[in-house]
Amino acid sequence: MALQLGDTVPDFTQESSEGTISFHEWAGDSWVVLFSHPADYTPVCTTELGTVANLKPEFDKRNVKVLALSVDDVESHKGWINDINETQKTTVNYPILADPDRKVADLYGMLHPNSLTNLTVRSVFIIDPNKKLRLTITYPASTGRNFDEILRVIDSLQLTDNYQVATPANWKDGEDCVVVPSIPTEEAKQKFPKGVTEVKPYLRMTPQPNK
């Protein structure tokens, strides 16, 4: 059964480029972005791992830990990390899980036989501090992931968990939000003192409440 949004994600203990990781314990009270790769020394993934290393301060700011996964072993990962650091002008500053036995890949449904036999597809999982799955995206091998979009989704999730708003199409942190339909307009005006604009009775906008 594939993991569904809202499910508690499976725990596991696995080796990584930074030692043994017991996943739930390692995650602690942080958000986690877990992202998988088909193999070491693959070109698109090399650019992705470098991008994530450069963005790590942005993930840290949001209380997010990042964790990559590839089916190769730790020694292979260490050699690949040297290449990533060299070619992407960065320092990989987060762990890469070694999953040669495909244990984690099986737990998280990362093996798609119609796409890549025996290799993990390029999936992203956003997991909240309660270990609940909040987002999953699977990319084709030819398309590099957009980690700015992943940060945008985290901003939205963290905002909407704490305020009765949703975020509209293409929303970015600091922009107006949608008032959730369950709040009557008069109540919304009390709840959101910065103002509520009623575009339609079901479509009400308000400035981002935590800005």
Average pLDDT over the chain, rounded to an integer: 93
What is the average pLDDT across 21-38?
96
| Whole-number Å distance between alpha carbons of 170 and 124 | 19
Is the separation of the CB atoms in 150 and 144 below 8 Å?
Answer: no
| Cα–Cα distance, 18 to 152 (Å, whole number) | 27
Determine what percent of the chain is predicted with pLDDT higher than 70. 95
Is the separation of the CB atoms in 124 and 136 below 8 Å? yes
Q: What is the pLDDT of residue 153?
A: 98
- Measured CA to CA, the distance from residue 194 to residue 107 in angstroms comes to 45
Tokens of 171: 């929303």
Query: How many whole angstroms separate alpha carbon 8 and alpha carbon 188?
Result: 32
Share of the chain above pLDDT 90, in %: 83
Residue 192 or 141, more confident: 192
- Annotated active-site residue 177? The verdict is no
Domain with CATH 3.40.30.10 in the chain: 13-158
CATH architecture of the domain formed by 13-158: 3-Layer(aba) Sandwich (3.40)
121 vs 160, more confident: 160
> One of 21, 45, 52, 126 is an active-site residue; which one?
45
Give mean pLDDT, residues 173-199: 96
Residues of the chain with CATH 3.30.1020.10: 163-206
- pLDDT tens digits along 50-87: 999 999 999 999 999 999 999 899 999 999 999 999 99
* 193: Cβ contacts below 8 Å, ≥ 6 apart: none
Q: Token pair of 89, please?
A: 């002008």
What's residue 177's pLDDT? 98
Tell me, what's the pLDDT at 142?
Answer: 84
Fold classification of 163-206 (topology level): Antioxidant, Horf6; Chain A, domain 2 (3.30.1020)
- DSSP run (H or E) holding 127: strand 122-127
- Model confidence over 90-139: pLDDT tens digits? 999 999 999 998 899 889 988 765 555 555 678 999 999 999 999 999 99
